[in-house]
């Protein structure tokens, strides 16, 4: 698990893709919701992507968060991890 310490000034973290995925999963886990988080590869008809599936514990339906799109935004400097999660 990564500890994300941000000063008042926006500080860009230098994480690789795997580190970002782990940090994203950890940040979602501490949100306090009663959900299951699953990192997996999602295969669609015309594309496939790495995702974290967020599913309420007593439900069969969940949502997928594209790790690839979130990491691309992070690399572009659109925001820190917490800011990106606020947009999802």
In a domain? residue 9: no
Give residue-wise pLDDT tens across range 49-61. Answer: 999 999 999 999 9
Where does residue 5 fall: left (phi above 0), alpha (psi -120 to 50 degrees), or beta otherwise? Answer: beta
Range of the domain at 48: 17-87
Give residue-wise pLDDT tens across range 7-58. Answer: 333 444 578 999 999 999 888 888 877 899 999 999 999 999 999 999 999 9
When divided into structural domains, the chain yields a total of: 1
In a domain? residue 10: no
In a domain? residue 22: yes
In a domain? residue 7: no
In a domain? residue 1: no
3-state secondary structure 14-79: CCCHHHHHHHHHHHHHCCCCCEEEEEEEEECCCCEEEEEEEEECCCCCCEEEEHHHHHHHHHCCCC
The predicted pLDDT at position 13 comes to 56
In a domain? residue 71: yes
What residues does 38 pair with on adjacent strands?
Answer: 53
Res 4 pLDDT > 80: no
pTM of the model: 0.72
Res 88 pLDDT > 80: no
């Amino acid at each position: 698990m990564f500890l994300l310490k941000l000063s008042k000034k926006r500080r860009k973290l230098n994480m690789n893709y795997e580190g970002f995925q782990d940090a994203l999963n950890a940040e979602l886990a501490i949100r306090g919701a009663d959900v299951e988080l699953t990192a997996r590869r999602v295969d669609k008809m015309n594309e496939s992507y790495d995702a974290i599936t967020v599913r309420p514990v007593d439900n069969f339906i969940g949502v997928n968060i594209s790790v690839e799109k979130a990491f691309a935004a992070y690399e572009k400097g659109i925001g820190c991890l917490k800011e990106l999660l606020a947009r999802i």
